[in-house]
Structure 1
């Protein structure tokens, strides 16, 4: 295992604490890994790589505020057959270090192209959850020739706007007990998050850093893709949604996706909500591997 770090800019005490909680969560990673930084025109991007170096590449994009450490229940199965690259999305709360925040949908696609080129990854499979699912759909629409397949897990917006409750709970995260209320709303009694991961999530919420808190833009995220954009998809897609999803109605999202995206495989996962890769990891791990193969 390794963790090669560039020279960090000045971090606040909250930032230092967050990096410590990130490393504690990374202790849950069940397989050997290499953690390192990739240089892009938008800053330094943190990557956690696992699996055989000569295996087919698989890129993982995490949910907002969750970071790449969220893949700890999935990585053993997926890295047994693939060279996995868990990428910390630049501009979100994680170990990546933004220099020139892309902010736009085109900019984010360019950022991922930089990462792929640096890693020497020509045409990987991609998996994205929530914010990562939105990034994945954005990327395959802009660079379909660089992606073999895409798996979208509970993608943020993408097919439907957020339910108004999302903003109510998200905007109150920094209030007393805001994190607890948010997680209870999102997971109800299905909370299977490890205490170390909850600690990291809380530290990320409390880390106020302008470089990692973006103002929404008309040409940025969140975003619901148009009918024309969805009809133009050229990459095989698997869409998995939890039956207890709260950020939008999962059945309506599945219906719109199935109607518009050519050849999509779309399913509702029982006994799961928004973070289905954590809530039903065994089911998700198997379903994803079946799709990839």
Structure 2
């Protein structure tokens, strides 16, 4: 691990501006932390670590365009008992520096495997939201021996396909008022993003960088796992979905997961939508700690 890697974002103004907004969001982190880069076969992975160094590890994987800074409402509780590693997913808009986009489901699992090895983690709890939830289940299926327990929050696809409205709002992000329209559609009035974090999200949307915009592949993401894949899961899993989820029907996702994944704990959280870790942080924090503590 390298705490002082001398690398910079792309030289574009939008990249430099994004890094500034990321640092402003990281100032919201309520507990001591350290940041560093972990080298992998696909590039340098940026990580925010908190909690006691001797505590059991908990790897956190963020939602698309939100980066690891999104965990600021949750990290104080989770890092009280775990050594948390908030990992910037390579290829998404964040501080990780991809040199070769894996792009495939196997490649993404290998990337996370490299991160685990660099962190000297033999086995860890893993928690992911949205895109991070998709990565989490992908890793559980491909390398179950590295995962103790997995928490999946509002996973992108994974169990059911996106609603067509998702594509409409996601493709419209770069249009005038596109960010505002997207957030309003996703969160309604349940949650208003903190201003510095909202600026980071907007900067990420506007940061045009081909290295961080992987094109979908047939064997990549997004992806709905097959019945056989879901039936093969052996790692204990907690699935939390928001009752006001809009990117797909949460009841359909709940039913398919509960039917196919043996022993899964699946729950629809009242008063929450897609970003339930921000919309209902107190409940989610406690529910996660209860599940991981068994």
Do these two structures clear the TM 0.5 threshold for a shared fold by scoring above it?
yes
Q: Distance in 1 between matches of 2:41 and 2:248?
A: 34
Offset, 1:234 = 1.0
Q: Distance in 2 between matches of 1:191 and 1:280?
A: 9
**2:291 alignment partner in structure 1:** 291
SS at match of 2:244: coil
SS at match of 2:47: strand
Answer whether contact 2:56 2:124 (CA < 8 A) is retained: yes
Q: Distance in 2 between matches of 1:11 and 1:287?
A: 42
Q: Distance in 2 between matches of 1:33 and 1:284?
A: 22
**1:70 alignment partner in structure 2:** 70
**1:182 alignment partner in structure 2:** 182
SS at match of 1:148: strand
**Residues 140-188 of structure 1 deviation map (CA, whole Å, 9 limit, x = unaligned):** 0000000000000000000000000000000010001000000000001
Offset, 1:8 = 2.7
Task: Name the CA shift for 1:192/1:10 in 2 (closer, same or farther; >3 Å).
Answer: closer
Q: How many residues align?
A: 292
TM-score (norm 1): 0.98
Alignment of 1:94-243 (within 5 A): 94-243=94-243
**2:82 alignment partner in structure 1:** 82
Answer whether contact 2:67 2:88 (CA < 8 A) is retained: yes
Offset, 1:3 = 6.0
Q: Distance in 1 between matches of 2:209 and 2:5?
A: 19
Answer whether contact 2:9 2:19 (CA < 8 A) is retained: no
TM-score (norm 2): 0.98
Answer whether contact 2:78 2:84 (CA < 8 A) is retained: yes
Answer whether contact 2:62 2:68 (CA < 8 A) is retained: yes
SS at match of 1:176: coil
SS at match of 2:138: helix
**2:47 alignment partner in structure 1:** 47
Q: Distance in 2 between matches of 1:29 and 1:168?
A: 33
Offset, 1:10 = 3.7
Answer whether contact 1:45 1:97 (CA < 8 A) is retained: yes
**Residues 43-100 of structure 1 deviation map (CA, whole Å, 9 limit, x = unaligned):** 0000000000000000000000000000000000000000000000000000000001
Answer whether contact 1:17 1:203 (CA < 8 A) is retained: yes
RMSD: 1.0
Task: Name the CA shift for 1:278/1:9 in 2 (closer, same or farther; >3 Å).
Answer: closer
Give the unaligned 5+ runs of structure 2: none
Offset, 1:191 = 2.2
Q: Distance in 2 between matches of 1:207 and 1:118?
A: 29
Q: Distance in 2 between matches of 1:59 and 1:13?
A: 31
Offset, 1:9 = 5.7
- Give 4+ residue runs of structure 1 displaced > 4 Å after superposition: none
Give the unaligned 5+ runs of structure 1: none
SS at match of 2:94: coil
SS at match of 1:59: strand
SS at match of 2:240: strand
Offset, 1:41 = 0.6
